[in-house]
């Protein structure tokens, strides 16, 4: 990488509120990198429209027949789009499939994820519901590097969120998301800075 601003690719399957937080940080000059492409495995995902509204290229990539992962061919399609967009690193923002070899090999140590718990507690789906049902007094969110496991990669940063009396799964998830929208842009900025320094 030269001294240009690092280029970020974002992958998501849902409404894209974390992408919005990243795009707004970019607009206000505090992201330290440029979101250049958004890819989704869900054709109707809100994140695709949101990307377009921010002027970021957005593409649907058909995932194939499996529920929890893409076919190797589909994942190779993602890699091709990310490489054509000259992406330096990737932020998963609600991407609901396990990342496999094609992507891990193309961007080793360069894929970040945000997870709605204080990892290593509550890996996997609906981590806020797991926290609520277990009765812990606090949970939170974690930004970590993606490896071949599910929510197992190196932790880069965390934010704590209390459980409050009367919390439902929805109210707790909403409070965690507020923390996510603050933490993710900060962690992406730190990672972009680290890439810039290691390229010097």
- Residues that are catalytic: 115
Asked if 18 interacts with ligand GRF (CB under 6 A), we say: yes
Asked if 129 interacts with ligand GRF (CB under 6 A), we say: no
Residues 96-115 that bind ligand GRF (CB under 6 A): 114-115
Residues 162-181 that bind ligand GRF (CB under 6 A): 177, 180
Element (H, E) at 143: strand 138-145
Secondary structure class of 161 (helix, strand, coil) = strand
Secondary structure class of 34 (helix, strand, coil) = strand
Taking contact as CB under 6 A, which single stretch among the options 15-23, 32-40, 81-89, 164-172 is the one that binds ligand GRF? 15-23
Q: Based on CB atoms, which residue is closest to ligand GRF, 139 or 177?
A: 177
Secondary structure class of 112 (helix, strand, coil) = strand
Which one of residues 14, 69, 147, 195 is an interface residue with ligand GRF (CB under 6 A)? Answer: 14
Asked if 157 interacts with ligand GRF (CB under 6 A), we say: no
Asked if 151 interacts with ligand GRF (CB under 6 A), we say: no
Chain length of the chain? 200
Element (H, E) at 91: strand 89-92
Looking at the DSSP assignment, which residues form a beta bridge with residue 10? 38, 91
CA dist., res. 191 & res. 70, Å (int): 26
Q: Are 7 and 85 in contact (CB under 8 A)?
A: yes
Asked if 116 interacts with ligand GRF (CB under 6 A), we say: yes
Which one of residues 93, 132, 146, 192 is an interface residue with ligand GRF (CB under 6 A)? Answer: 93
**Cβ 198 to ligand GRF, closest distance in Å?**
26
Which one of residues 1, 5, 15, 147 is an interface residue with ligand GRF (CB under 6 A)? Answer: 15
CA dist., res. 183 & res. 29, Å (int): 16
Q: Based on CB atoms, which residue is closest to ligand GRF, 18 or 159?
A: 18
Q: How far is the CA of 87 from the CAs of 37, 65, 161, in angstroms?
A: 8, 27, 32
Q: List residues near ligand GRF by CB under 6 A.
A: 12, 14-18, 93-94, 114-116, 177, 180
């Amino acid at each position: 990488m030269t001294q240009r601003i690092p280029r970020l690719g974002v992958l998501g399957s849902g409404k894209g509120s974390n992408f919005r937080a990243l795009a707004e940080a970019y607009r206000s000059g505090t992201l330290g990198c440029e979101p250049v492409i958004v890819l989704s495995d869900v054709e109707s995902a809100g994140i695709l429209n949101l990307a377009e509204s921010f002027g970021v290229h957005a593409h649907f990539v058909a995932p194939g027949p499996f529920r929890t992962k893409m076919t190797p061919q589909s994942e190779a399609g993602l890699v091709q789009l990310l490489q054509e967009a000259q992406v330096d690193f990737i932020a998963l923002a609600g991407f609901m499939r396990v990342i496999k070899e094609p992507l891990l090999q193309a961007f080793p140590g360069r894929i970040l994820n945000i997870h709605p718990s204080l990892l290593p507690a509550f890996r996997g789906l609906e981590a806020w519901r797991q926290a609520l049902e277990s009765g812990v007094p606090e949970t939170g969110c974690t930004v970590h590097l993606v490896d071949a496991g599910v929510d197992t990669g190196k932790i880069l940063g965390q934010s704590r969120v209390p459980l409050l009396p009367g919390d439902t799964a929805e109210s707790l998830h909403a409070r965690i998301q507020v923390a996510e929208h603050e933490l993710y842009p900060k962690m992406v900025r730190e990672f972009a800075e680290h890439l810039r320094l290691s390229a010097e």
